[in-house]
Amino acid sequence: MRESGGKRHAEIAGAGIGGLTTAAALAQRGWSVTVHERASTLRTFGAGIYIWSNGLRVLKAIGAYDRATVGAHIGPEFHTRDHDDITMEEIPINGPGDARLVTILRETLINTLVDVCREAGVDIRTGSEAVGATPEGELLLADGTRCEADLVVGADGINSRVRDSLDLLLYRRDLGYGAIRMLIPRARGDVPHEDENRYIEYFSGSRRILYTPASADDLYVALCCGADDAEALKVPANRALWTQSFPHLANLIVRFGDAGRWDVFEVAKLKRWSKGRVAIVGDAAHAMPPYLGQGGGCALMNGLALAVSVADAADIGTALGEWEARERPLTEHTQDTAENLGSMNTWPDDVRSAVLKIVGKSRELGEQRMKTARHVPTGTEAFPL
């Protein structure tokens, strides 16, 4: 349906990274766009987020880069450490020829995307819950409203009702592993001075601690463990238990607060990313474990690419098929690579340490791991960041 002024119209379910990116990119291409968010506010859960070069290029393309990266942390390396605090892998970043990585607060990213959307004329409605869609281009709301559109986008997360109303889910798998995520103030002495600005993932048995400076003042910490590790996944975090596993991080662990949230890692794959005039983006389409830090990056890429594909398309359905054919292979490579990295969670410490020290020197494996980070997404340019 075109509005009276001749504009094409999109209805989007979900005001997360994928939904807001799609909304901004469509509005900037002359579409009218309404975003429906079931929550009463646009506030996000307090945590940090990794944005690699591919995601940064998307932020540049939609005019969000400068604001989204204010106060961002730019680390010199990413380290993987074993149970003895010995580096198994060291991934250079942010140097000449390297992929770029910044970490920011998720709230900063969402707020910036909201601002960019509103500047482009996007109508964002909170307390508006989507419960389904029709292939003909209707978004169905919980209050019974049927919103007609030229394009409907389901960006309503892993539990997407838009996706499920169209029978698009191929499978959804609980990986039996997850994380308690929290933000705490940064403080000297949490880790040795030389490690303060690095991104570090520590292993001990089947547990991991991810240390991520997210700004000059904020530290993002993820405590990762199996879903059957009942004491480790308790919130507030069991400081004594985590200190026993990571004695070299005692200074950090003692400062864990009572906040935090346990989330299980999942993978979702669809039969198709679209049906009729409805497209699915973000975790609703391609949920993945966070081992590559690309969940947000893929949502950014696929949201912009969707807008580019349909912007002036004569037939929306055909354009959506072409969008999926072009974008899905890299996204599924990212999903599969991330899921494979999770296999080491159950390895004995000594085996994992030995393997990673060898794997970390493999150029071919490194290129596969960094393929998404180095990608120049559809609708962006290969300029220096």
Spatial CB neighbours of 87, under 8 Å, sequence gap ≥ 6: 79, 80, 81
Q: Is 125 helix (H, G, I), strand (E, B) or coil?
A: strand
Instruction: For residue 28, count other CB atoms closer than 10 A to its CB.
Output: 21
- The per-residue pLDDT for 45 is 67
Cα–Cα distance list, 127 to 42, 252, 283, 344 (Å)? 10, 38, 20, 41
C-alpha 250 chain-centroid distance: 29
How far apart (Å, rounded) are the C-alpha atoms in residues 201 and 180?
A: 14
- Per-residue pLDDT of 108-150, as tens digits, reads 999 999 999 999 999 999 999 999 999 999 999 999 999 999 9
- Per-residue pLDDT of 38-94, as tens digits, reads 998 887 766 899 999 999 999 999 999 999 999 999 999 999 999 999 999 888 887
Given a cut of 50, the residues of the chain with pLDDT beneath it are 4
User: Are the beta carbons of 245 and 207 closer than 8 angstroms?
Assistant: yes
- The per-residue pLDDT for 4 is 46
User: Are the beta carbons of 241 and 209 closer than 8 angstroms?
Assistant: no
How far apart (Å, rounded) are the C-alpha atoms in residues 269 and 74?
A: 32
How far apart (Å, rounded) are the C-alpha atoms in residues 155 and 284?
A: 6
Q: Is 375 helix (H, G, I), strand (E, B) or coil?
A: coil
- The per-residue pLDDT for 385 is 66
Instruction: For residue 384, count other CB atoms closer than 10 A to its CB.
Output: 6
Measured at the CA of 312, the angle between CA 307 and CA 314, to 5 degrees, comes to: 120
Q: Is 373 helix (H, G, I), strand (E, B) or coil?
A: coil
- The per-residue pLDDT for 307 is 98
What does the DSSP assignment read for 40-75?
SS----S-EEEEEHHHHHHHHHTT-HHHHTTT-B--
Instruction: For residue 325, count other CB atoms closer than 10 A to its CB.
Output: 10
Give pTM, 2 decimals. Answer: 0.95
Q: Is 348 helix (H, G, I), strand (E, B) or coil?
A: coil
Question: Any bridge partners for residue 268, and if so which?
Answer: 172
Cα–Cα distance list, 241 to 39, 207, 212, 250 (Å)? 35, 11, 21, 11
User: Are the beta carbons of 274 and 152 closer than 8 angstroms?
Assistant: no
Q: Is 108 helix (H, G, I), strand (E, B) or coil?
A: helix
